Amino acid sequence: MVAAHWRTWLRAGVTFQLLTALVAGPAVALLLRAALRAAGVPALTEASLGQVLRHPVAVLLLLVLAVVATSAALLQHAAFVLLARELTAGRVPRLRDLAGQGAAAVRRAVGPQLAILALYLLVVAPLGGFALGASFVRALEVPAFVAGELRKTPTGTAAWLGALLLLWYLNLRLLLLPTAVLASGRTPAAAVVESWRATRGRAVPLAAAAGALWVLAALCVAALAAGAVTATRVADALWPAASPVVAGLALALAQTVVVAGGGLAAAVVAVALLTLLSVHPPVVGAGPAPAGAPQTVAVVVAGALVTGAAVVAAAGLTAVPEQTTLVIAHRGATDGAVENTLESLEAAARLGVDVVELDVVQAADGGLVVFHDTTLGRLAGIDRGVADLTTAQLTATTVRQAGHESTIPSFAAFAARAAELDVPLLVEIKEHGRERGDPVGDVVAVLETHGLADSSYVQALAPRTVTEIETRFPHVRAGGVVAILRGRLDPGATDFLTIEQGSYSPELLRQAHTAGVQVFVWTVTDPRQVRVFTRDGVDGLITSAPGTALEQRAAVAAETGVSDRLADAVRDLVS
């Protein structure tokens, strides 16, 4: 069926994808801005979330946003599922008929049960990688730092793997939920029951099919990247001046192929899902295949779109950052040492990192120690809080990680060693809620004592702590840590912002640099992401793999053409 009607599949899939991108995407962005404006905050962050949720108008707008996003995702499913249903019944539908049937399905789903669809389409399916044709929600993922922290202990690793398996199992069992809503006219709750029934005993073959599809997609992407890069490498060698144009055109064509290929793959999946549900109802309102636009017009429009995309792509591929990206070792270099110890500091210095990041927390007697957690369980195996023990007790505590062993250092000892090694520090002030005295002042005093105040950075998650540093110690570079950021950047008077990589965007970087604020991204370990952020001109990368980051930064600096940038850009299309 897919082979016989591939033009129809492409026309429907691309049209619905473009409509979603051009209509639903801006609508969601507008609703988010309106909700934030109503709540009186510039952006949605972990710090502003409570204020947003306490404002009734903001909550109402966020509910409308959820309805729009869910409807858009469902309509993207409709492009494939409803078309598969009608082709199965022997009719080639018009696009307006598909749109009308999709809109009718959305209207049927609107109500209290829409929350079921929202949970599946906007959370469960994207997190599990099962978003059929729904590019609108593919960006959702578990923040890398959450996964990284969980995998640092055997218990956390087991919990993480268990959560992944549960997520995959839920996706396999709920795979038919949107199809049942669209093709059978069931309510979302009834569709959940139907999907669970239809997939009973089929989890293993479904998982095997999903795995095979993933492998096939990976091979296709690799072939696509190889083809695009080969042409650009030839241009790099024979005609460097034309290389950006060739790369831009190759990237634009790759984007076209990804959209078209993804649509055809979704078509195959849609037919398979209908087969699982055994849905073959009569089709109402479908007419003969439309003649469509003249071929010449279609070619001209497609050519204009590809040419425009090529120009934009060429400009992005040839952009040169104005500064060198700092490599910041996250809690030191931990390949051969326990995090946040003198050994991890010394290992990072041997690698040649630019800055070492560390965590400082206050002990029971007001002293400062270098430790990330508020309890000792993960690294010391002791069921005690840091706030319950004195500085002497903490610095005598043995910590173990990945076969390595050390003791918790005091902040003064850590700073003294950093000064000896001539390594600037990025100090994060951690809070356990039982602080006493003047912890902020004490941190700055240690840095000043060891001559590190001018070269180092101090950051905190709590906005009030950042404000205190800015107000009392204007000579110290202060920054805030932001795990979630959606909306307009408002850095305030900070010198830098440390942003979780899932919240990063080139536009955010542009806004920050316009305001004179540096941007650090955490925690970056993937070599490709290191290269991308370095090319973007991010000010600093906080990484748990500092050796790899240094190698990738050097590789970017040695680039003489655009073929390597193109290879990463092509892989970004499907990541």
For residue 395, tell me if it sits in a domain. yes
Does the pLDDT value for residue 518 go beyond 70?
A: yes
Tell me: do 333 and 256 sit in the same domain.
Answer: no
At residue 407, the 3 state secondary structure works out as strand
DSSP 239-305: -GGGHHHHHHHHHHHHHHHHHHHHHHHHHHHHHHHHHHHT--PPP-S--SPP--S-HHHHHHHHHHH
pLDDT band of residue 279 (cuts 50, 70, 90) is low
At residue 512, the 3 state secondary structure works out as helix
Prediction pTM value: 0.85
Query: What per-residue confidence (pLDDT) applies to 283?
Result: 38
Mean pLDDT to the nearest integer, 497-507: 93
Does the pLDDT value for residue 125 go beyond 90?
A: no
Phi and psi at 400, nearest 5°, equal: -135, 145
Does the pLDDT value for residue 305 go beyond 70?
A: no
Residue-number span of the structural domain to which 464 is assigned: 326-544
Tell me: do 430 and 531 sit in the same domain.
Answer: yes
Q: Distance between CA atoms of 355 and 243, rounded to whole angstroms?
A: 36
Query: What per-residue confidence (pLDDT) applies to 546?
Result: 98
For residue 509, tell me if it sits in a domain. yes
Does the pLDDT value for residue 282 go beyond 60?
A: no
At residue 337, the 3 state secondary structure works out as coil
Tell me: do 392 and 476 sit in the same domain.
Answer: yes
- DSSP letter at 361 equals E
Query: What per-residue confidence (pLDDT) applies to 358?
Result: 98
Tell me: do 277 and 397 sit in the same domain.
Answer: no
Question: Parallel, antiparallel, or unpaired: how do β-strands 425-429 and 457-460 relate?
Answer: parallel
Q: Compare 519 and 214 and report the one with higher pLDDT.
A: 519
Q: Pick the range with the lowest mean pLDDT from 168-182, 330-344, 371-385, 437-451.
A: 168-182
Question: Parallel, antiparallel, or unpaired: how do β-strands 425-429 and 355-362 relate?
Answer: parallel
Burial class of residue 107 in the structure, from the number of CB atoms within 10 Å of its CB (0-12 exposed, 13-18 middle, 19+ buried): exposed
- DSSP letter at 503 equals G
Of 508, 469, 471, 466, nearest in space to 486 by CA: 508
Strand partners, 518: 496
For residue 228, tell me if it sits in a domain. yes
For residue 390, tell me if it sits in a domain. yes
Q: Distance between CA atoms of 481 and 455, rounded to whole angstroms?
A: 19
Mean pLDDT to the nearest integer, 416-429: 98
CA angle at 58 for the pair 53 and 59, rounded to the nearest 5°: 55
Q: Are 206 and 199 in contact (CB under 8 A)?
A: yes
Does the pLDDT value for residue 498 go beyond 70?
A: yes
Query: What per-residue confidence (pLDDT) applies to 428?
Result: 98
Q: Compare 152 and 364 and report the one with higher pLDDT.
A: 364
- Give the position of tokens 């089929």: 202
Tell me: do 522 and 566 sit in the same domain.
Answer: no
Average pLDDT of the chain, as a whole number: 85
Q: Distance between CA atoms of 98 and 291, rounded to whole angstroms?
A: 16
- DSSP letter at 387 equals G
CA 575 to chain centre: 9
Mean pLDDT to the nearest integer, 270-298: 54
For residue 103, tell me if it sits in a domain. no
pLDDT band of residue 96 (cuts 50, 70, 90) is confident
**Number of Cβ atoms within 10 Å of the Cβ of 40:** 11
pLDDT tens, position by position, 46-95: 889 999 999 999 999 999 999 998 888 888 787 788 888 888 777 777 87
Tell me: do 248 and 365 sit in the same domain.
Answer: no
Does the pLDDT value for residue 474 go beyond 80?
A: yes
Does the pLDDT value for residue 2 go beyond 90?
A: no
**Number of Cβ atoms within 10 Å of the Cβ of 158:** 12
For residue 91, tell me if it sits in a domain. no
pLDDT band of residue 574 (cuts 50, 70, 90) is low
Query: What per-residue confidence (pLDDT) applies to 153?
Result: 75
Tell me: do 406 and 313 sit in the same domain.
Answer: no
Tell me: do 480 and 358 sit in the same domain.
Answer: yes
Q: Distance between CA atoms of 344 and 434, rounded to whole angstroms?
A: 28
CATH number at residue 382: 3.20.20.190
Angle between helices 411-421 and 439-449 (to 10 degrees): 30
Does the pLDDT value for residue 328 go beyond 80?
A: yes
Q: Compare 267 and 206 and report the one with higher pLDDT.
A: 206
pLDDT band of residue 13 (cuts 50, 70, 90) is confident
Tell me: do 308 and 332 sit in the same domain.
Answer: no
Half-sphere exposure of 189 (CA within 13 A, CB side): 4
Half-sphere exposure of 152 (CA within 13 A, CB side): 20
For residue 426, tell me if it sits in a domain. yes
Long-range contacts of 218-223 (CB under 8 A, 24+ apart): 220/261, 221/258, 221/570, 221/571, 221/573, 221/574
Q: Compare 357 and 235 and report the one with higher pLDDT.
A: 357
The enclosing H or E element of 190 equals helix 188-198
**Number of Cβ atoms within 10 Å of the Cβ of 247:** 30
* Percent of the chain residues past pLDDT 90, beyond the cut: 48
Tell me: do 434 and 385 sit in the same domain.
Answer: yes
Does the pLDDT value for residue 482 go beyond 80?
A: yes
| Per-residue b or e along 432-471, where b marks 16 or more CB atoms closer than 10 Å to that residue's CB | eeebeeebbebbbebbeebebbeebbbbbbebebbbbbbe
Tell me: do 373 and 506 sit in the same domain.
Answer: yes
Query: What per-residue confidence (pLDDT) applies to 366?
Result: 97
Half-sphere exposure of 342 (CA within 13 A, CB side): 17
Does the pLDDT value for residue 302 go beyond 60?
A: no
For residue 55, tell me if it sits in a domain. no
Does the pLDDT value for residue 362 go beyond 60?
A: yes
Tell me: do 526 and 387 sit in the same domain.
Answer: yes
Query: What per-residue confidence (pLDDT) applies to 285?
Result: 37
Task: Give the chain's domain count.
Answer: 2
Does the pLDDT value for residue 5 go beyond 90?
A: no
Q: Are 1 and 264 in contact (CB under 8 A)?
A: no
Query: What per-residue confidence (pLDDT) applies to 3?
Result: 64
